[in-house]
Structure 1
Amino acid sequence: MDWVGIIVLLIGLASVGVAFLLIKPLKRLTEILSNLTETVGKLPKQAANTMSNASSTLHSGTAVVNNMKQKLSRLDPVIHAASNIGNAARNLSASASAINEEMKAKTDNPVMRRSNLEWIYGIAGLGYCLWQYRTSWYKTK
């Protein structure tokens, strides 16, 4: 029984020694945890501030997008008119090109090719298109 008492006494002394050795790190850990509590206590205010800033940024972005949408809706007629003008110009150039190729095929003349006078076909085709347009315009009036 004496040995058991001695072993228990040694274990108790070792525990007291370990406790004295751990006092300084435990105090430091306490300071760290108290600083962490302060920091975490500030987080809700900071998160609320960040969220309000993000919300105001999103609202202003939405206002800008709505403003641009209104302005672009006012430009819709202009965009459609430009599209119609582009389609008309494409149709005119396509018909002029077709007439030019047709006239070129009908009047395959070596003198024209040798003298680089193909531009005459273009002018004649454009004139023909304009003449056709003018006659069709009179018929609709």
Structure 2
Amino acid sequence: MDWLGIGVLVIGVALLVLVFLLIKPLTKLAEVFDNLQKTTSELPDTVEEITSEAKKAISSGTETLQQINTQIKELSPLFYIVGDAGRATNHLSSSMVEAVTKMETKTEAANDFTHRKNLEGLYGALTLGYFIFQKSREFNKEKNVIDVN
């Protein structure tokens, strides 16, 4: 029984030394848990503030998008007009290219003379003027037909 008592005494002293060694780390761990408790108790308020700010930002973004949408709806007729003008310009320029091409094929025999005398620009300008004259004549005819009715 003596050996058993000595063994229990040695184990008790070892546990007592272990408790004294662990007191400092356990108090630090208790402080960490206390700080964690404070942080987590403030967390709902912080999350509420963040979500309210996010709601405000989203609502202002939605309002801005609605304003932009209404402004674009107001500007859409202008875009249609610009598109129509672009198509009309494209049609006019393609008609002018066709007229110049037809004139060039008709005057292919005089082409050597034109290149020798550097008259390409002059003939191009004359062709363009003739084409514009024809188109204005057609436009005036159409206008007179519309006015009569």
**Same fold? TM cut 0.5:** yes
For normalisation by structure 2, the TM-score amounts to: 0.85
SS at match of 1:22: helix
The CA deviation at 1:128 is 4.2
Provide the alpha-carbon RMSD of the alignment.
Answer: 1.7
Give the unaligned 5+ runs of structure 1. Answer: none
Residue in 2 aligned with 1:116? 118
**Aligned mate of 2:132, from 120, 123, 130:** 130
Shift of residue 89 of structure 1?
0.4
Cα distance in 2, alignment partners of residues 70 and 90 from structure 1 = 31
Per-residue CA deviation, residues 68-111 of structure 1 (Å, 9 max, x unaligned), is 11011101111100010011001111110111112112102212
List runs of 5+ in structure 2 lacking aligned partners.
none
Question: How far apart in 2 are the matches of 1:118 and 1:18?
Answer: 108
Please say which of residues 126-135 and 18-27 is displaced more in the overlay. 126-135
Question: In the alignment, is residue 59 of structure 1 matched against residue 68 of structure 2?
Answer: no
- For 1:71, the equivalent position in structure 2 comes to 71
Provide the rounded CA distance (Å) in 2 between the counterparts of 1:113 and 1:47.
Answer: 82
Q: Which residue of the partner structure matches residue 15 of structure 2?
A: 15
What are the Cα deviations for residues 35-73 of structure 1, in whole angstroms up to 9, with x where unaligned? Answer: 111011111111110111011011101111110110111
Residues 1:15 and 1:50: Cα distance change in structure 2 (over 3 Å): same
Residue 38 of structure 1 aligns with which residue? 38
Q: CA, structure 1 residues 64+31, in 2 after alignment: closer, same or farther (shift >3 Å)?
A: same
Aligned partner of 1:102 in structure 2 is 102
- Matches of 2:114 and 2:55 in 1, distance apart? 73
Read off the aligned partner of 2:56 and give its amino acid letter: S
SS at match of 2:118: coil
Write the distance in 2 (CA, Å) between the matches of 1:120 and 1:95.
19
Using the TM superposition, give the Cα deviation of residue 122 of structure 1 relative to its aligned residue in structure 2, in angstroms. Answer: 3.0
Q: Shift of the alpha carbon at 1:115?
A: 2.5
How much does 1:11 deviate?
1.2
- C-alpha displacement of 1:5: 2.8
| Structure 2: distance between partners of 1:12 and 1:73 | 87
TM-score by length of 1: 0.89
Give the fraction of aligned pairs with identical amino acids, expressed as a percent: 35
Measure how far apart 1:132 and its partner are: 4.2
Deviation, structure 1 residue 136: 4.0
